[in-house]
């Protein structure tokens, strides 16, 4: 079992749709969780950190479920510019940061 | 404030050649990292550094070396290039660790070894 697993997609959604991604992790001692966005042939960039109580940033909502060991990302009112690969990142401490392989999202007009 | 700067952007090496990937950051971050990203895979940590003069191995260090003589610079050295080192390399830095210290990445170096 991979340490961090994501559905690779691709998710193809129309503009204005709501889309959700899940990511599961295997290490119950994991400490910090993030969602990064990576555009084609570009570097990853932080989208949002994921706090225990969940957090929202505009159209984006992140949730953490420690009991079931997954985090989720919800994107509301999808824009064309949201098309990218979304990376789930789990930090287990001690410089052991595990990146998921990413979920590809295509938003079409 | 340029952030994290990597050079070169692209490079083609022949098997057995050596090269250095340069990385510099101007954010006064103590922590710096080198990752590689292969198609369909998550980023893998090659080496990291918690400060000038201190480096340590990550998950996939074989075939690579690093040095950290200053806070700003963290070059990655490939001594004997092999086809398995064909990848995209990202340098990153962070203030610390945890939720409030995300990684800041450079633009990446696309390396092909033939």
Residuewise pLDDT in 10s, chain B (114 residues): 789 999 999 999 999 999 999 999 999 999 999 999 998 888 999 999 999 999 999 999 999 999 999 999 999 999 999 999 999 999 999 998 888 889 999 999 999 999
Of B42, B102, B105, the CB nearest to A34: B102
Give the CA distances from residue B54 to residues A50, A75, A108, B51, B91, in Å, rounded to whole numbers and listed in that order: 30, 40, 47, 5, 16
Separation of alpha carbons A21 and A14, rounded Å = 16
Mutation site for A-interface testing, chosen from B51, B94, B102 by largest number of A Cβ within 10 Å = B102
Q: Torsion over CA of A48, A49, A55 and A59, rounded to 10 degrees? A: 10
SS3 label, residue B56: strand
Residue A46 has its nearest CB partner, among B42, B90, B102, at B102
3-class state of residue B69 by DSSP: coil
């Amino acid at each position: 079992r991979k340490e961090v697993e994501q559905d690779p997609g691709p998710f193809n959604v129309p503009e204005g749709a709501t889309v959700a991604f899940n990511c599961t992790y295997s290490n119950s001692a994991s400490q910090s969780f993030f969602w990064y966005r990576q555009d084609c042939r570009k570097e990853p960039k932080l989208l949002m950190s994921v706090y225990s109580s969940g957090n929202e940033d505009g159209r984006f909502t992140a949730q953490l479920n420690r009991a079931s060991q997954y985090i989720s990302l919800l994107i509301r009112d999808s824009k064309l510019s949201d098309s990218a690969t979304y990376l789930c990142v789990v930090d287990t401490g001690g410089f052991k940061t595990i990146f998921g392989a990413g979920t590809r999202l295509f938003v079409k007009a | 404030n340029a952030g994290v700067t990597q050079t070169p952007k692209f490079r083609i090496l022949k098997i057995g050649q050596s090269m250095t990937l340069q990385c510099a950051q101007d954010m006064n971050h103590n922590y710096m990292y080198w990752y590689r990203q292969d198609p369909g895979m998550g980023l893998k940590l090659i080496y990291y550094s918690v400060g000038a003069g201190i480096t340590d191995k990550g998950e996939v260090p074989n075939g690579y070396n690093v040095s950290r003589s200053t806070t700003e610079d963290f070059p990655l050295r490939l001594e004997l290039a092999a086809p398995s080192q064909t990848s995209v390399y990202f340098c990153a830095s962070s203030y610390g660790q945890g939720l409030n210290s995300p990684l800041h990445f450079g633009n990446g170096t696309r390396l092909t070894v033939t």
